[in-house]
Amino acid sequence: MEPVLLVRYAEIHLKGLNRPYFERSLMKRIELALRPLRVKVVREQGRVFVFGLPESAIGESAQKLTRVFGIHSVSPALAVEKEWEAIECAAKSLVAARIAGLDQASFKVTARRADKRFPMRSQEICRLLGGRLLEAFPALRVDVHQPDFYVGVEIRQDQAFLFAEELLGVGGMPVGSNGHAMLLISGGIDSPVAGYMIAKRGVSISAVHFYSYPYTSERAREKVADLTHILAGFAGEITLYLVPFTEIQLAIYEKCPQSETTVLMRRLMMKISERIALSCGAQALITGESIGQVASQTIESLTVTNDAVTLPVFRPLIGFDKEEIVEYAQRIGSYDTSILPFEDCCTVFVPQHPVTKPKLEDLRRSEALVDFAPMIERAIAQTEIRAVD
């Protein structure tokens, strides 16, 4: 009897001929998520099995895998010989642990016979095992419709697997299976959620943050690193680019029309982000924008911002209300960090009456008032690069 993890994958099973590619990505992600433990990950007919875990690490490892994109669910399981006594014995030990401390519980048995050479059919397995468990545990009763838990039996090529618990995963696709994108991360509530959603689709993430020392503090920068760390808990290691932005912000403040400062600032952030994205092989930009949330996120403003770059810009929150984004942030655990009171951009640079319907020609003209090119070069040259995991 060996403790293992049985992993069911999410959308990958819809894949056709390229399914092995996604499966391999997922296996690699599972290995990375369980480090520093060294495990053996094996795939077999629509399942992935994790071997080599010490028994004491099973629970925590299962929890870790529920945060890995591409996984539908995880079950701590027992791998046994394909012999009836071994199967029954494993089932009893799982049930004993599952109902410890309970006066009564309802259950059912489900069985899958992937190895058709096994002499009993699935129905027979369910009936016989269910009967034996009822005899052994007086607290149990059968409920095939809404049981408190179910005992799963899977008869595979080499072994049988039994489990009594199924933990739901986050779904999605394994990170790294769908390219690489650059997230613009601010320190607010929205951008970590945007990064999460794109990473969930299997995209590996880098992140870029603009800071305006002394207008923003060291603590604000550390807060962004903390948010990146939370995101990395799902998305794997993230390279974080910290770009000094004060010089550009001050130039906009002094030389450009006041009402346009925010949109101009965003155009320049997009340009720098694209430069960094291209230098590290990212194929798209990600922002946390949502239509109409603030002046710089009206359709007109988004059009003007979009015009600054040629890479595709992914805005997964575009149709979300603030409330929905907050709920999502709470679910992924970034909310409490996001609302810490360290300003991500000083109110000095927020105009009293920002333009809400900027015209592209006007903005291009305003941008031409300052020679930003050397400032952009300096900002990129002074960018600090950190690996966050």
Partner 1 sequence: MIYLDNSATTRVLPEAADAACRAMTEQFYNPASAYQPAVATEKAVEEARARLSSALGFTTEELLYTSGGTESNNMAILGSLKPKRGKRRILTTLGEHPSVYEVFRSLENEAETEVVFIGLNADGTANLEQLAALLTADTALVSLMHVNNEVGAVNDLASAAALIRRLSPDALLHSDGVQAFCKRPFARPPVDLYSISAHKFHAPKGIGALYVRNGFKFAGGQIGGGQERNLRSGTSNVPGILGLDAALAVYRSNQERWIAQMRTCKEKLAKNLLSIPDAVINGPAPEEGAPHILSVSFPGVRGEVLVNALSEREICVSTGSACSTHKKGQNRILTAMGVAGVRAEGTLRFSFCPFNTPEEIDTVSGILSEQVAFLRRFRRR
Cα separation, 74 vs 84, whole angstroms: 24
Rounded to the nearest 10 degrees, the angle between the axes of helix 246-255 and helix 261-279 is: 150
Cβ proximity to partner 1, 110 vs 259, nearer residue: 259
C-alpha 127/C-alpha 109 separation (Å) is 8
Min dist. Cβ of residue 372 to partner 1 (A): 18
Q: Closest separation between CB of residue 258 and partner 1, Å?
A: 6
Least Å distance, CB 373 to partner 1, is 22
- Closer residue to partner 1 (CB): 118 or 349: 349
The answer to whether 329 touches 290, Cβ cutoff 8 Å, is no
Report the nearest approach of partner 1 to the CB of residue 257 (Å). 11
**CB of 162 or CB of 265, closer to partner 1:** 265
Residue 318 C-beta: closest distance to partner 1, Å: 29
The residues of the shown chain that bind partner 1, judged by CB under 8 A, are 213-218, 250, 253-254, 258, 340-341, 343, 346-352
- CB of 22 or CB of 211, closer to partner 1: 211
By the 10 Å C-beta count (0-12 exposed, 13-18 middle, 19+ buried), 17 is classed as exposed
Calpha distance 3→134 (Å, rounded)? 24
Shortest CB 139 distance to partner 1, Å? 42
Task: State the nearest-atom distance from the C-beta of 250 to partner 1, in Å.
Answer: 6
Minimum distance, C-beta of residue 348 to partner 1, in the bound complex (Å): 5
Task: Please state, in angstroms and rounded to a whole number, the distance separating the CA atoms of residues 243 and 378.
Answer: 10
Cα(124)–Cα(111) distance, integer angstroms: 9
Nearest to 174 by CA among 89, 278, 101, 65: 65
- Find where tokens 């539908």 sit: 72
Q: Which residue in 286, 170, 295, 180 sits closest to 233, CA to CA?
A: 170
Strand boundaries in the chain, DSSP class E: 2-9, 40-44, 47-51, 71-80, 105-113, 140-142, 149-155, 160-163, 167-171, 180-184, 204-211, 238-244, 285-286, 313-314, 384-388
Number of H helices, E strands in the chain: 13, 15
Q: How far is the CB of 336 from partner 1 (least distance, A)?
A: 13
